[in-house]
Structure 1
Amino acid sequence: MERKIIIAKLQELFLKNWKAKLASFLIASLFYLNLQNSKILTKNINVPIEYPKLENGLYYAQTPEKTFPIRVEGLREIVNYYSQFMKAVVDVEDLKLGENEVSIKKIVGVPSGIKVTKLKKTILFTVEGSTTKQIPLEINFDGELSANFEKVSYLIRPSKITISGKQSDVERMNKIVLPTISLQDQSESFVRKIKIPDLPKGVYVSGGIKEAIVSVTISSLAIKAGEQLISGIPLKCIGTNQYLEPELSEEQVAIKIFSRTPLKSSSVINGIDATVPCNHSYDPIKKKIIPTDQPIITRVRVSRSRDLKNIEILQIIPEKVTISYRVKTEQMNMNDDETEPTEIDPSTTPIPEPSDLLDK
């Protein structure tokens, strides 16, 4: 009996003003859900891309993409805090030489409870190798010489240097221009050491060459007869093999002449050819310089133009020079490509062992 009374009172309690109570419950539920939703944050961010380190001789061409777009969703405090530590990681197994179009498989730094959506399918970048190239050195002059003098010739040693580095950077370089030399008020020949200017980042000069030697021949405009010593005549190699780079112990010679008619020094320099035969050859199959790879001593030959047929050449200084030969690296690389037609194009060949790309 008492139990029935209790149940009746409870029914009366719940049913009394039930509409108002239901409305209050619904309003409270909405407030609760709104409170929970206000703690959820969804935002788009760009996270850094982490690329694998490459072994020596491999480079990322130009500047690869630095960030990757994603959408993160989760509790506001967690999203705001952890988003600064998130990174998009490029898988080393996806790398190959040449152009790469890879998908980001992994976003690191994401805690549990955070939903991440990638907003981009793939990223593009290029992996390239290193190369070498021989380029000339050039120089400019400014200023006025002293009166009655002229610049007859100049010589840069070495005239060419070999550079190495990232393929795209090396291929863009066709020459190196040395700092300008002033000729202001100069009245005699001179030799000057010039530092080779800094190269673009990632490009280096092979052989440890840090400076060039510039020899400038300056001659008087005065006309002279009789015996004269003419210096600054460039010495040239003739018959050079395409695979070889000859190096001379002297790049210029001087000659002692006798002329019965007045001559300018510059006329003699411009009308005289000083040469040496550089007729060694190279066997690309045996990779051997023929007849020998040792330096040889050879005599300087002098020829003259018709305008100088009346002068008498008394002496050549020096009469002999030493010639050394070295193999041109870039020519040998081209030859290797031609003699191995079955070689697979590296731009379409994946790196066989992904771990080899990692910087040891």
Structure 2
Amino acid sequence: MKRWLIRSLKKDLAAKLISLVMAIALWAYVQNLQISELTLNVPVKYRNMPSDLSFSKAPPRFVKIKIRGKKDDLKFPSSHLKAQVDLTQAEEGKQKYKVQFSTDQLPQNVKLVSQDLKIPLSLEKTIEKQIRVRAVLEGNVPEGYRIGRRKVVPEKITLIGPASILDNVRYVETYPVSLRGHKESFFKKVKVRLPSKKIKAEPNRVTVSVLVFQENTVNERTITKIPIVTRNLDPALTAALSNKTVEVLLQGDSDILKKVKPKDIHVWVDLEGTHYNPQTGHILPFDTEPGIPVSAKLLRYAGKVNIISIIPEQVTVRFRVKPEFIKKEEQKKRENPIEEIENPPKEEQ
């Protein structure tokens, strides 16, 4: 009796296990037949952006889509899915733009239920601006050596990007140029450090040259109180410099060095790029410009004497509008009051 009972239990257990496996398989089959929905984040690509526009804020990187299908069908690889926004007709300001998603990207048995139809974007005018480049040096030359003049070529580069960013940019700097180990003059091509990822530079590299020489091995002479003159100053403006004169360190033959006079050295600052806007009465881009480089050249004895350094290397310039130009604009406004109202000045860029 006992043996029979054990055999019966074993027989029933096997049948139960088979039934359980069949039930699970049937349940899985039925579940797979059921229709499910899935929400995906799909990368979005922006096409045909007008060259005169830029994003004010970083645009969304993804849009949402909802798809429907059998559970197994929804397990397809989705990394290839892409949406796009066509900006051919884009305009300045904040607007919503249509999102395009092609259902051809989906498997045959998967359907698109819904998607983000439009996406908000903020666009603004793209401008170009000439900006000075400053060389950044790090470290020190070996003991017994020192550095003289440094030069950046080109001195200015063109930045392209949103006006809201570039309006506040006065200069850009290079990535650091190391002085360590240098016992001779050298030059190096380096990238320019940009203020934002939204900004492009043309060119994006400049050449930094640094004069390095050994101390106490050559004849030197310092000439002081050499006046700084201005170049390319807007006729409507005056310019006040933080330093009116500089001192220049010269190197060369001792007999020739004795002959050099202050008038033999021409020192200047280039003020191109700053101008007076008569429509608004403003000085653009700024009425005060720090860090304008001082340049110098020898009018006599060039090739026999070298300019080692200029102190200071940079000056701050404060611009003011000449009184006669202010009076001219006030007179025009009095003579043409109607035109002033009908044609208000455009926003500065």
* Length-normalised TM-score, structure 2: 0.48
Higher Rg of the two aligned structures: 1
Larger RCO: 1 or 2 (CA < 8 Å, sep 6+)? 1
